[in-house]
Chain A
Amino acid sequence: MKKLFAVTTFALMGLALNVQAAESLKILTWKGYAPQELVEKFEKETGMKVELTFTNNEEMIAKLRATRGAGFDLAQPSQDRISSVQAEYKIYQPMDYNKIKSDQIIASMLEAVKKNTKVGEDSYGVPFCYGTSGLIVNTKLAPEAKDYSALLDEKYSGRISYRLKRPTLIGLAFASGDDPFAKYSDPTAYKALMDSVAEKMIAAKPYVKNYWSNGDALLEMVRSGEVSVAMGWDNGGWKLHGENPDIDFVAPKSGALGWIDTFAIPAKAKNVDGAYQWINFMLRPENAAVFSNTEKYATASKDAGQYLDAEVRDNISRSFTAADIDNIKWYPPVGAEIEQMEGKILDMVKAAN
Chain B
Amino acid sequence: MKTHFRLGLFIFLTPVLLWLLLLIVVPHLELLMMSLQGKDDMGKAVWTFANYRHFFVEKIYWYTFVRTALYAITVTVLTFCVTFPVAFYITKVVSPKFSGFLTILLLMPFWVSELVRVYGWMILLRESGVINHLLVSSGLMDSPVEMLYNDISMLMGLVYTSMLFMVVPLISALEGMDDSLIEAAHDLGASPLTIFFRIIIPYAAPGITSGSIVVFMLALGNYLTPKLMGGKNSLWFTEQIYNEFIASFNWNQGAAFGFLLLALSSVIIWFGLKLSRQELGRALS
Residues of A within 8 A of B (CB): 58-59, 61-62, 65, 85, 158, 165, 205, 208-211, 213, 224-226, 336, 339-340, 342-344, 346-348, 350-351, 353
Is B248 touching A350 in the complex (CB atoms < 8 A)?
Answer: no
CB of B221 within 8 Å of the partner chain: no
Enumerate chain B residues within 8 angstroms of A340, measured Cβ to Cβ: 248-250
B235 and A347 within 8 A (CB): yes
A343 and B244 contacting across the interface, CB-CB below 8 Å: yes
Contacts A208-B232, A209-B149, A351-B60 known; 14 new A-B pairs at CB < 8 A = A59-B246, A65-B249, A209-B146, A209-B232, A210-B148, A226-B146, A336-B249, A339-B248, A344-B60, A346-B247, A347-B235, A347-B240, A347-B243, A351-B235
* Contact status B60-A348, CB under 8 Å: yes
B245 within 8 Å of A by Cβ?
Answer: yes
Q: Is the CB of A344 within 8 A of B248?
A: yes
List the 3 shortest-distance A-B pairs measured between CB atoms, nearest first.
Answer: A343-B248, A224-B128, A210-B231
Name the B residues within 8 Å of A225 (CB-CB).
Answer: 128
A276 to B176, CA, bound (A): 66
| B contact residues around A336 at 8 Å (CB) | 249
Complex-state Cα separation, A242 to B246, whole angstroms? 35
**Measured between alpha carbons, how far is A147 from B181 in the docked complex, in Å?**
72
Instruction: Decide: A58 near B235, CB < 8 A? Known: A226-B128, A348-B60, A351-B64.
Output: no
Q: Does B127 contact A (CB under 8 A)?
A: yes
Cβ contacts under 8 Å, B244 to chain A: 343
- Chain B 213-237, CB-CB to A under 8 Å as 1, else 0, gives 0000000000000010001110100
Asked if B249 contacts A62 (CB within 8 A), the reply is yes
CB-based contact B60/A62 at 8 Å: no
Residues of chain B within 8 A of A61, CB atoms compared: 249
* Residue of B63, B146, B248, B250 touching A158 (CB-CB under 8 A): B146
Name A224's closest neighbour in chain B (CB-CB): B128
What's the nearest-Cβ distance from chain B to residue A121, in Å?
Answer: 22
CA distance A11 to B95 in the complex (A): 45
- In the assembly, what is the distance between CA of A350 and CA of B67, in Å? 13
6 pairs, A vs B, C-beta closer than 8 Å: A62-B249, A158-B146, A210-B231, A213-B227, A226-B126, A342-B247
Residues of B within 8 A of A353 (CB): 233
A residues in contact with B231, CB < 8 Å: 209-211
Residues of chain A lying within 8 A (CB to CB) of residue B245: 62
A195–B250 Cα distance when bound, in Å, is: 20
Chain B's closest residue to A205 (CB) is B232
The answer to whether A58 and B149 have CB atoms under 8 Å apart is: no
Partner of A343, one of B63, B64, B250: B250
Cα–Cα distance between A43 and B28 once the two chains are bound (Å): 41
Alpha-carbon distance between A211 and B244 when the two chains are bound, in angstroms: 18
Checking A208, A211, A343 against B243 with a beta-carbon cut-off of 8 angstroms, the contacting residue is A343
Give the docked Cα–Cα distance between A306 and B231 (Å).
Answer: 44
How far is B246's CA from A165's CA once the two chains are assembled, in angstroms?
12
The smallest C-beta distance from B66 to any residue of chain A, in angstroms, reads 11
Checking B235, B246, B249, B250 against A350 with a beta-carbon cut-off of 8 angstroms, the contacting residue is B235
Contacts of A58 in B (CB 8 A): 246-247
Residues of A within 8 A of B250 (CB): 340, 343
**Inside 8 A of B233's CB, which chain A residues have their CB?**
350-351, 353
Closest CB in chain B relative to A138 CB, distance in Å? 14
Hey, what's the 0/1 contact readout for B236-261 against A, CB within 8 Å counting as 1?
A: 00011001111111100000000000
Partner of B232, one of A165, A210, A226, A343: A210
Inter-chain CA distance A58–B245, complex, in Å, is 9
Closest CB in chain B relative to A255 CB, distance in Å:
24
Identify the closest chain A residue to B58 (Cβ): A344
Q: Which residues of B are found within 8 Å of A65, using beta-carbon distances? A: 249
A344 to B245 Cα, complex, angstroms: 12
Looking at the assembled complex, report how far the CB atom of B199 sits from the nearest CB atom of chain A, in whole angstroms.
44
A339 to chain B, nearest CB (A): 6
**Which A residues are CB-close (under 8 A) to B227?**
213
- Which chain A residues border B64 with CB–CB below 8 Å? 351
Tell me the bound Cα distance from A205 to B64 in angstroms: 18
Return A87 CB to nearest CB of chain B, in Å. 11
Residues from chain B with Cβ under 8 Å of A210 in the complex:
148-149, 231-232
In the bound complex, how far is the Cα of B146 from the Cα of A119, in angstroms? 49
Instruction: Decide: B247 and A339 in contact? CB cutoff 8 A.
Output: yes
Question: Nearest CB to that of B239 among chain A residues?
Answer: A350
In the assembled complex, which residues on chain B have CB atoms less than 8 Å from the CB atom of A205? 232
C-alpha gap A108/B136 in the complex (Å): 56
> In this complex, what residue of B is CB-closest to A62?
B246
